[in-house]
Chains A and B, each alone.
Chain A
């Protein structure tokens, strides 16, 4: 889960990293009040979980409180790469002398975290990395040792950062470990003309798998922009909405991803990703079907199950029971293969639902579901 800038800022502050004074609001009037409290001249920043805010006009300087209100009014409600701006952060402006870049990222190939730091670039870090890779230091971190002062000194030296940043590097590592983050980034980290080191903007991505021990990040923080995704999440379903017309249900993340691809290969577009996992109970099947059927763009549904541990007759039983619980309004193509497939197929045949048809191969069933979606 990504945090908003203002949440990342609050975390940094909690761990003793200096940040500019700022407050968050969803109201232009309040933006004016905040600006007054901060001394008049402020920066108004859109709070969206995507990059490129500045280029999109989502970060603007306001000369005084009245201007802050006007600016907030312009930014609130803006669409930035598909994200609607619901809140702005109003922050004190900072006189920047130098900009730096620091982050800890997961190096999947090495199975370690990696410190990435540069004395050049700040906001233009990607360009620096592409043009002058030698200006970007990459230092692997031993998980047993973490980032001590001496390790932080090593990172700072490798990147050519001033020794003042060592303390920030240590504290940032604390944020990463204690909050179970998989990414923390300060970009830019700045030195002001007064010589202070400040985290001007930050990004934090938390590990969803660690939620059981990170109580403060509740489900409300995992905001779903899409109402169907929110509904599916509430039902405990592993669902991602896409923009096509063939609804997909399958078991196992890899098989479902593959099912989307095979449907796309038949000239149709998948409407969603939905992995019902190993269990495939009647309840999960009914919940999954009801979410998919309430997507108005869905024209047909493809249930693709390979019975490994789960027996296909149990899956078929789940589908039959789901058909009693959910009003089926679109054609449903079912492919059952693997463990107990003949029995599962027989169960569905017995039910003889007019909207349900079976195809015995994955590729054939995908083709059929695509045809049905096109025919609608």
Chain B
């Protein structure tokens, strides 16, 4: 089952014909994603051939011919697409997401980094009013290993399994996927490192809690805002599955943006320490390093196994 993305998902790519769009569409196809079209009003009616020599998961490699549509609506009408992945540059991202929401798509995964926050505020509010879920912006997307990959997360790190992962950071997602590659994941969601994102830790926690294919949840946070503190309160009240946490940015100085636009400690708010304490306060085990976090996961899974067997 997984969350948000399955093998049934039909995926459009906005900005497919650009450099990043081409590269990652090929990778998505190789991961088994059903990419049904690109969107570019200036190239509508054409097709793009992606030579995918070898697919993961035992799928046969073959050239994949992907049509380009003039709009998200056209693409949806022609293919039944229900997911769009947005690679368009920051200046055009707002219009692209608004268009996707207007067309009534269920999920828009916004990879683009560097979108002005006023634009993100506008399109997340607009998408919510249209019933479109946004993941991102400034995120690596999400992957349901063995089924589908919407975004730029490498598909060959790990295999299908029963851990759900939600993270603000791309590379920390990859690191944890790698550490736990032999266990495998149901779905990994990179929600993005911007101050305003469409899908939050809490949304993913709720989805993983309801997902019969997920046994344990890994939640990765970082400095800035209070999303992790809110997530902790949500876990206390609504999550029965075990959650393991990791927080980055203990050594970040106050007032400096650490790479991600949202990663900033302002005054005494948004510190890693406060986030760790909030999570531990509701019984979440928090790892000191990514490796230690993976070990906590392994130990909990081991414990669960013992309990089931006794």
Q: Does A291 contact B (CB under 8 A)?
A: no
> A216 → chain B, closest Cβ, in Å?
15
| Residues on the A chain within 8 Å of B174, using CB | 252, 306, 308, 338
Q: How far apart sit A172 and B120, CA to CA, in the bound complex (Å)?
A: 20
Q: Is the CB of B195 within 8 A of A258?
A: no
B116 contacts A143, C-beta separation under 8 Å: no
Tell whether B263 is near chain A: CB-to-CB under 8 Å. yes
Alpha-carbon separation in the docked complex, A55 to B261 (Å): 31
Residue of A whose beta carbon sits closest to that of B173: A254
| A132 interface residue per 8 A CB criterion | no
Residue A161 lies at the interface, judged by CB distance under 8 Å to chain B? no
The interface residues of chain A lying within 8 Å CB-to-CB of B222 are: 253-254, 257
Measured in the bound complex, the distance between the Cα atoms of B223 and A261 in whole Å is 12
If the complex has contacts A209-B261, A257-B248, A306-B171, are A111 and B253 also in contact, measured as CB distance less than 8 A?
no
Determine if A309 is an interface residue (Cβ-Cβ < 8 Å). Answer: yes
Q: Of A4-12, A188-196, A262-270, which binds chain B? A: A262-270
Cβ < 8 Å to B, chain A residues 208-241: 208-210, 212-213, 238, 240
Q: Taking the nearest CB of chain A, how far is it from the CB of B106, in angstroms?
A: 19
Contact digits for B234-255, partner A, Cβ 8 Å, 1 yes 0 no? 0000000000001011111100
Query: Number of contact residues on B: which range applies?
Result: 35 or more
Inter-subunit contact A209/B115 (CB<8 Å): yes
Given A144-B125, A339-B154, also A254-B171 (CB < 8 A): yes
- On whether the beta carbons of A257 and B117 are closer than 8 Å, the reply is no
Does the CB pair A109–B248 fall under 8 Å?
no
> Quick check: B122 and A143 within 8 Å, CB to CB?
yes
Complex contact A255–B169 (CB within 8 A): yes
CB-CB under 8 A for A361 and B291, given A254-B170, A257-B258: yes
Residue contact B169 to A261, C-beta cutoff 8 Å: no
Interface-side segment among B35-43, B225-233, B298-306: B225-233
| Contact residue among B120, B152, B198, B256 (Cβ-Cβ distance under 8 Å from A309) | B152
User: Interface of chain A, helix or strand or loop or mixed?
Assistant: mixed
Q: Which residues of A contact B262 (CB under 8 A)?
A: 108
User: For the complex, what is the distance from the CA of A255 to the CA of B176, rounded to whole Å?
Assistant: 11
A56 at the interface (CB under 8 A from B): no
Q: Would you call A254 and B172 a contact (CB within 8 A)?
A: yes
With an 8 A cutoff between CB atoms, is B90 at the interface?
A: yes
A242-B117 in contact (CB<8A): no
Main secondary structure of the interface of B (DSSP, over half): loop
The reply on B178 being an interface residue by CB < 8 A is yes
Contact B175 A255 (CB under 8 A): yes
Q: Are B289 and A306 in contact (CB under 8 A)?
A: no
Residues of the A chain whose Cβ atoms lie less than 8 Å from the Cβ of B157: 308, 338
Instruction: Say whether, besides A258-B290, A261-B251, A338-B178, A109 and B170 are in contact (CB < 8 Å).
Output: no
Q: Write the nearest CB–CB distance from B135 to chain A, whole angstroms.
A: 13
Residues of chain B contacted by A250 (CB below 8 angstroms): 171
The residues of A that contact B259 with a CB separation of less than 8 Å are 238, 252-254, 256-257, 273, 275
Q: Please give, as numbers and ranges, the residues of chain A lying within 8 Å of B169 by CB-CB distance.
A: 252-255, 257-258
Chain A nearest CB, measured from B206 CB (Å): 15
Q: Is A139 an interface residue (CB 8 A)?
A: no
Distance in angstroms between the alpha carbons of A339 and B157 in the assembled complex: 8
Q: A253-B263, A308-B170, A362-B289 are in contact. Are A261 and B118 (CB under 8 A)?
A: no
Instruction: Point out the residues of chain B lying under 8 angstroms from A106, CB to CB.
Output: 117, 121, 195-196
| A349 on interface, CB distance cutoff 8 Å | no
**Contact of B18 with A by CB under 8 A:** no
Q: How long is the Cα–Cα vector from A240 to B225 in the complex, in angstroms?
A: 20
Q: Name the B residues within 8 Å of A253 (CB-CB).
A: 169, 171, 193, 222, 258-260, 263
CA distance A185 to B9 in the complex (A): 45
Asked if A252 and B170 make an inter-chain contact with CB atoms under 8 angstroms apart, the answer reads yes
A262 and B289 in contact, given A106-B117, A209-B115, A308-B154 (Cβ under 8 angstroms): yes
A120: chain B residues within 8 A (beta carbon): none
Q: Say whether B171 contacts A252, CB under 8 Å.
A: yes
Residues of A within 8 A of B220 (CB): 254
Instruction: Give Cα A177 to B289, complex, Å.
Output: 40
A-B contact pairs, 11 of them (CB 8 A): A108-B195, A209-B117, A254-B171, A254-B259, A258-B246, A260-B250, A261-B289, A273-B258, A306-B171, A308-B171, A362-B290
Beyond the given A213-B91, A252-B172, please list 8 additional residue pairs across the A-B interface where CB-CB is below 8 A.
A112-B125, A208-B257, A209-B117, A252-B169, A254-B169, A258-B246, A258-B248, A264-B251
Interface residues of A (CB under 8 A from B): 106, 108-109, 111-113, 142-144, 177, 180, 182, 207-210, 212-213, 238, 240, 242, 250-258, 260-265, 269-270, 273, 275, 306, 308-309, 337-339, 361-363
The 8 closest A-B pairs by CB, nearest first: A254-B169, A253-B259, A252-B171, A255-B171, A210-B116, A254-B172, A257-B248, A308-B174
